[in-house]
């Protein structure tokens, strides 16, 4: 029987908008409010209540099931509700969640950008806005400075190809561009955003590994 190597990480992953609740400052929240965008009219609403206190109990349950790691996202619109203004209380809440996670003996992989954008960034074109890559770098610098000692692994962007397809090549997700040129432009911009965030995290938190989350599905015929 094959054995997993020592130090192998077992866990689950969450995105901030999936679990926190009340993320009313981002483009996905606005998208949900438009009739017809979601077939059954579902809204994120309170989600799983993480921001209000459920994060700790859910992570404790995960640890009890044998998880030794968790990948969680940071909600950009909470941390930077206005362009250039960072929210101390939001950073403190994330610090408390990470402290609880480590207290359970789990490692933290933290994603800077998991699909959602602050309303102020979406209003300027999202990943079609040339300055957004530098803004992600600025966010990364602040997160590395404030949270770096609590993070074991950084991820800059979650699945850029999926976001590009859903929001730029098609109209399934915000901003709903439905354009191949917009898709290619968004991919280029997210690559630049990854580079800016990578460099910023290296400066602010040089000891912690930094990567990107890629979606790489395998052809079913190739699976043995």
In a domain, 24, yes or no: yes
**DSSP state, 148?**
G
Q: Token pair of 117, please?
A: 């954008």
In a domain, 162, yes or no: yes
In a domain, 222, yes or no: no
pTM for the whole structure? 0.93
Quickly list DSSP for 32-84: HTSTTSSTT----TTTT-IIIIIHHHHHHHHHHTT--EEEEE--HHHH-SBTT
Residues pairing with 72 in the sheet: 110
In a domain, 60, yes or no: yes
In a domain, 1, yes or no: no
Number of folded domains that form the chain: 1
In a domain, 4, yes or no: no
Q: Tens place of pLDDT for every residue, the chain, 224 residues?
A: 578 898 899 999 999 999 999 999 999 999 999 999 988 989 999 999 999 999 999 999 999 999 999 999 999 999 999 999 999 999 999 999 999 999 999 999 999 999 999 999 999 999 999 999 999 999 999 999 999 999 999 999 999 999 999 999 999 999 999 999 999 999 999 999 999 999 999 999 999 999 999 997 766 554 43
CATH code of the domain in which 127 resides? 3.20.20.80
Print the domain residue range for 179. 11-215
In a domain, 129, yes or no: yes
In a domain, 185, yes or no: yes
């Amino acid at each position: 029987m094959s054995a997993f190597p020592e130090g192998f990480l077992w866990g689950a992953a969450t995105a901030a908008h999936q679990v926190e609740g009340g993320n009313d400052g981002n483009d996905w929240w606005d998208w949900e409010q438009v009739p017809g965008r979601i077939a059954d009219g579902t809204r994120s609403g309170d989600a799983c209540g993480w921001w209000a206190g459920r994060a700790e109990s859910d992570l404790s349950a995960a640890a009890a099931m044998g998880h030794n790691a968790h990948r969680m996202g940071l909600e950009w619109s909470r941390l930077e509700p206005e362009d250039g203004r960072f929210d101390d209380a939001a950073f403190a809440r994330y610090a408390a969640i990470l402290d609880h996670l480590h207290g359970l003996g789990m490692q933290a992989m933290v994603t800077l950008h998991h699909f959602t954008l602050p309303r102020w960034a979406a209003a300027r074109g999202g990943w079609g806005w040339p300055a957004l890559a530098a803004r992600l770098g600025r966010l990364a610098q602040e997160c590395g400075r404030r949270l770096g000692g609590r993070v074991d692994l950084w991820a800059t962007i979650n699945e850029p190809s999926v976001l590009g397809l859903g929001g730029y090549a098609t109209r399934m997700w915000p901003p709903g561009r439905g354009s191949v040129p917009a898709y290619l432009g968004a991919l280029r911009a997210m690559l630049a955003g990854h580079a800016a965030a990578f460099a910023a995290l290296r400066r602010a938190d040089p000891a912690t590994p930094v990567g990107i989350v890629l979606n790489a599905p395998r052809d079913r015929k190739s699976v043995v």
